[in-house]
Structure 1
C-alpha cells in the first residue's frame, strides 16, 4: 500500500518530457517542434528585452531569463506545450524590489520564490490554485496592466527625466513636470510601432508583429534624436550567461519575504492558468504539482544566472500551440534559439529605439488588462464587485502584495457571508421529507405529537452559520419535551458547527428536553463522532429519517404516532 502511494505521488511529479519520450518521439514530431520553437523564439526576443527594461534592469537580463528559465520550465514541467520566461505580471513588483533593494535583493527574492514554488509542488498545493477567486485575479491583472502602461510613458514620449518613480501618483506627477521635454521623434516611433503591431494582428495574425515593428522602427529611427538600447545600456553582451552571484542582502530576508511571496503567487497562478489554456487548445491535461516544481527550479536557475522571475507565458504558449508545438522539446528549442539570436544579433540590438519597445509593452498592457472580463465582473453580485475594485485600486495605488492579501481575505469573508446566508433553520410547513418527498396536503406540524417540536437545517453548518442554533429554544413559550433537529439537508459540518450542536444539547439538557437528530449525512456523522458527540439515552438520539424521529418522539412522550396521509 505504501509503495503504491509513493508511485502515485511520483507520477504527479513526473515531467511531461519523460511521458512524451516514453510514448515515442519521431523525426516528424521534431520538425513540428522545431518550427514552433523558432516561431516562439522570434516572438519572445523583443518581449524579453522590453520586459526587462520595464522592470528597471538591462535588456540582457530578460534574455537570460527566457533562455534559462524557459528551458527548465519546458524540460521539467507538467505541460506538453508550456512556454516559460519573463512576463508583464512581474514588472511592478520587480521594479519596486530593484529600486529598494538593488539587483541583489531581486535575486534573493527570486530564489525564495523558487523555493516556495518547489515546496508548494511537493506538498501538492497545485490543485488548490483552481480555487483562486476570479475577481481577485481579474482585479490585480487589470491593476498590473495600468501599472505597465504608466511605466512606459517616459519612453513612449521621449521625456527627458531621470528614473521613473515607483509610486503611481508620484510617477504621473513627475510626467506632468517633464511633459514639455517630450520628443516628437519618440512619439512618432511609438505610434509607428503601435500601427505596425495592430496592423499585423488584424491582417497578418501569423506574422511576428512585435519583431517586424522593432525592425521597421529601428530603420526609421536612424538619424533621429531617439534614445536606443545602445545609448542607454551600451553594447549587449554576445556571450553565454555566466553563473555569478552578486552581493545578496540575506540580512534583509524578512523585508523581502512579502515580495517573494508575491512573485511565487504570480508565478504559480499565471503558469497554471497558462497550462489550463493550453489544455483547452490541445485537449491534453497538465500536471499542476509538477508544473509548480518546474517553475520553482526555473526561478532558482534564473536567479543564479542573474535573471528575472519567470513563469508560464499564456501568449507565447498559445503561439507555440498554433505553430504546431507538440511536446516540451518545442519550448527547449525556443530557449536554445533565443541563445543563438542573442549571440548573433547582440551588436544590432543596440539600434532598437526604446520607444519601439514601449509600443510593444503598451500592447502587452492592453492584452493583459482583460477589459471585457473586468467590465463583465462589474455586473456581478455586490461582493464580487467589492473584491474586484478593492484589489484593482490597491494594485494600482499601493502595493501588489497588499492587494493580493486584502483581496483574498475580503473574498473569503464574502464567501463565508454568502454561505451563512444560504443556511436556513426553519419550522415551516411543507418541508422536504427525509425520503425526498414533498408533502402537499399535510404540514410537518400536523404530524408532531403533543410536546414535540421540529426544526430543519438546510445548508452547511460551519462557523459562519453556527450561531443560527443559538436561539432556537427561545422561540417556544412552553419548552417541548422532545426537540427534533432535521439534518438531511446539511452536507457538511465543521468544528464550529459541532460546538454549536453541543451547546444546543447542553441547553436542552438543562431544560429537560430530549434532542433527536434525524437524517445525518456521512460527513456530519463522521465529524460529530470524531468530536465525541455521541448518543445518550434520554438526552440525545440519532435516527435515520424523519419518520423514525416521529416514532421515537411519540414513545418518549407516551403517545401514538399520527398516521401519514
Structure 2
C-alpha cells in the first residue's frame, strides 16, 4: 500500500509544472504578450459562438475560455497550446444538453476531467499517436459539417427546432425560414462569413472575425434591425465556484457521455499539441502532462459554469504564427478574455446571434483542408474508405461512434494488408553434398516450405489450407526462421497442420524456430509435439539430413545412395 502511494505521488510530481516552464516565460515576454493579445482577439467571437451552440449560453463559452485557458496553460504539456471551447466538443455537448440539461453537461465535464487525470497518471498519452491519419481527417471533415449545420437556425434567424439530430434540426429550421423568412439575419451571417473567408486569404494576420462581428453589431444597432436577435444579457464577471449542479444519483447515467467527452478532449488536445510541434523547431509536448492539464481544466471550468474544453487547433496555430514561445501567451489570452468578461459584458451582449453564426460557418469551412483530403483519398483505397466512413458516421451518428467505426475499419484493413504480406512458398532443396541422382530422389519425396512474415490469426487459415493440401510426398520441411511474429492462433494452426499431415503418413520437420516464438509454440503444445518425435532442428541442412535418414530407413532410397557429409551453414536456415 505504501509503495503504491509513493508511486502515485511520484507520478503526480512528474506531471506538475517545472522551473524550466517558468524560465521559458521570461525569455521573450514581449512577443508572448503580443501573441496572447492576438489570440484573444481571435478567440472572443469563437468562445461566444461555441458557448451559444453548446446550449449553455455565451457566458459559458467565456467562462470556459478563461478558466480552462489558465489551467491548461499552467499544467498542460505544451508551451504553445491554447485551450477553450471548441466546435468538436460542442457537437458532443448538444445531445447531452438535450438529454440531461445544463447541469448534466457540467457534471459530465467534471467526470471527464477526472478521467483525463487518471489517463495521465497511467501514462496513456503515448497511445493517442496510434490513431490513423484517415480517421483524424474524416473526423475533422464530419465535425466541420456538423458545426456548419448547427449554425443554420441562428443564421436564418429562426428559433432552434426540437430534435437531437443535426440533420433533422437543419431541415426543420429551413422549413421554418421558408414559412417566415428573416433576410436580416441571413444577410448578417452571410456577410460575416464572407468577410472572414475573403479577408483570411487577403490578409491572414488581420483578425477579420472580430472586425466583422463588431461591424455587424454596429450596423444592427444603428439601423434598428430588430430581426437581428442579440446574445442577451451577460453576467459581469465569473460566478462564484459551486458544485450545486452535482447530482450523485445521476453519475451512473452520465458515465458514457463523460467517457466520450474525455476521449474527444484527449484526441483533440494531443492532435492540437502535435500540430504546434510541427509548426516550430525545438518544441515537443509531453502527452501525459497535456492530459493532466486538460483534466484539471475540465474539472474546474464547470464549477464556474463553463463547458468541457480541449486544446483548440485554430487558436493554437494563431498563437504559434504570431511568435509565441512560452505558456505566457496562452495565459495572456485568458487574462484578456477575463478582462472583457468583467469590463465589457454589456457591449458583448449586443452582438447579434446571426453574426456569431457567420463566424462559426466560416470556421467550419476553414476546417476543411481540401488538399489534405485529396492526398488522403489518392493514397490508397483503404485510406479513402476509412476517411469517408468516419466522416459519414460523424455526421449521421455521433463523434464517439465515428471514431470507433473509423478505428475498427482501419484495424481490419490494416490486418488484411499485413496478412497479405505473409508468404508461404515452396522452396527448392539445397544440393549440399548429394549426388544428382540422390538429389532427384530426395526432391521427389521431400518438399520444403518457407514462411515469410507474420503467422497470426489473420493469415493462419490460408496457411492451414495450403499446407494440408500437400500430397504425394513423404516429408514436409517447414523453414520458420523468417516468421516475423506468431500468435496463439498461428501456433495452433501449425500444430493442427502437423497432426493432420502425420495422420496421412507425412512426416513434418521444422527448422529455424526463433527464440521469441518458442514460448507461443510451447504454450499450445506444438513445440512438444515436434520435440517428442524429434522433428525440430536448428537449421534447414540438419532437417534435410534427418529427412534423408528417414527415407533411407523407410527403404525409399536405394542402399548405394549414402550421404557423404553433412552440410552446415546459416545461409540455408
Provide TM-score, normalisation by structure 1: 0.87
Structure 1 Cα separation of the partners of residues 440 and 48 of structure 2: 77
Structure 2 Cα separation of the partners of residues 25 and 409 of structure 1: 41
Q: CA deviation at 1:75?
A: 0.9
- In structure 1, the residue matched to 2:165 is 167
- In structure 2, the residue matched to 1:19 is 20
Structure 1 Cα separation of the partners of residues 441 and 453 of structure 2: 24
Structure 2 Cα separation of the partners of residues 250 and 370 of structure 1: 43
**1:3-152 aligned within 5 A:** 10=11, 13-15=14-16, 17-21=18-22, 24-25=23-24, 27-152=26-151
Structure 2 Cα separation of the partners of residues 18 and 512 of structure 1: 73
Q: Given the alignment of the two structures, is residue 501 of structure 1 paired with residue 494 of structure 2, yes or no?
A: yes
Q: CA deviation at 1:114?
A: 1.8
**What do the CA deviations read for 1:75-111 (whole angstroms, capped 9, x no partner)?**
1111111111111111221111101110111122222
**What do the CA deviations read for 1:362-416 (whole angstroms, capped 9, x no partner)?**
1111122333333433334333333322222222123322222222222222222
Count the aligned residue pairs: 545
Distance 1:310 1:244, change over 3 A: same
Q: CA deviation at 1:318?
A: 1.4
What secondary structure is seen at the aligned counterpart in 1 of 2:293? Answer: helix
In structure 1, the gaps of 5 or more residues are 434-441
What secondary structure is seen at the aligned counterpart in 1 of 2:455? Answer: coil
Q: CA deviation at 1:59?
A: 0.4
Structure 2 Cα separation of the partners of residues 315 and 448 of structure 1: 70
Structure 2 Cα separation of the partners of residues 412 and 546 of structure 1: 35
Provide TM-score, normalisation by structure 2: 0.86
- In structure 1, the residue matched to 2:540 is 546
- In structure 1, the residue matched to 2:243 is 245
**1:266-415 aligned within 5 A:** 266-283=264-281, 284-415=283-414
What secondary structure is seen at the aligned counterpart in 2 of 1:503? Answer: helix
Which segment drifts farther, 246-255 or 216-225? 246-255
Structure 1 Cα separation of the partners of residues 143 and 367 of structure 2: 8
Distance 1:519 1:191, change over 3 A: same
**What do the CA deviations read for 1:432-470 (whole angstroms, capped 9, x no partner)?**
x9xxxxxxxx9xx97955542211212211111122332
Whether the aligned pair in 2 keeps the contact of 1:479 and 1:511 (CA below 8 Å) is: no
- Whichever of the two has the greater Rg, that structure is 2
Whether the aligned pair in 1 keeps the contact of 2:153 and 2:170 (CA below 8 Å) is: no
Q: Given the alignment of the two structures, is residue 517 of structure 1 paired with residue 510 of structure 2, yes or no?
A: yes
Whether the aligned pair in 1 keeps the contact of 2:160 and 2:173 (CA below 8 Å) is: no
What secondary structure is seen at the aligned counterpart in 1 of 2:378? Answer: coil
- In structure 2, the residue matched to 1:487 is 480
Q: CA deviation at 1:128?
A: 1.4
- Aligned-residue CA RMSD (Å): 3.1
Structure 2 Cα separation of the partners of residues 299 and 459 of structure 1: 45
Structure 1 Cα separation of the partners of residues 28 and 567 of structure 2: 74
- In structure 2, the residue matched to 1:474 is 468
- In structure 2, the residue matched to 1:457 is 451
Q: CA deviation at 1:29?
A: 2.3
Which segment drifts farther, 199-208 or 335-344? 199-208
What secondary structure is seen at the aligned counterpart in 1 of 2:458? Answer: coil
Distance 1:131 1:537, change over 3 A: closer
In structure 2, the gaps of 5 or more residues are 431-435, 553-561
Distance 1:512 1:6, change over 3 A: farther
Structure 2 Cα separation of the partners of residues 492 and 135 of structure 1: 26
Distance 1:337 1:527, change over 3 A: farther
Q: CA deviation at 1:202?
A: 2.2
Structure 1 Cα separation of the partners of residues 24 and 405 of structure 2: 47
Q: CA deviation at 1:246?
A: 4.1
Whether the aligned pair in 2 keeps the contact of 1:416 and 1:464 (CA below 8 Å) is: yes
**What do the CA deviations read for 1:2-39 (whole angstroms, capped 9, x no partner)?**
99x97998599445654333xx4474422222222222
- In structure 2, the residue matched to 1:436 is none
Structure 2 Cα separation of the partners of residues 259 and 410 of structure 1: 23
Q: CA deviation at 1:125?
A: 1.9
Whether the aligned pair in 2 keeps the contact of 1:114 and 1:296 (CA below 8 Å) is: yes
Whether the aligned pair in 1 keeps the contact of 2:492 and 2:526 (CA below 8 Å) is: no
- Pick from 175, 178, 196 the counterpart of residue 177 of structure 1: 175
Distance 1:58 1:507, change over 3 A: same
What secondary structure is seen at the aligned counterpart in 1 of 2:307? Answer: coil
**What do the CA deviations read for 1:308-348 (whole angstroms, capped 9, x no partner)?**
11111111111111222111222222212211121111111
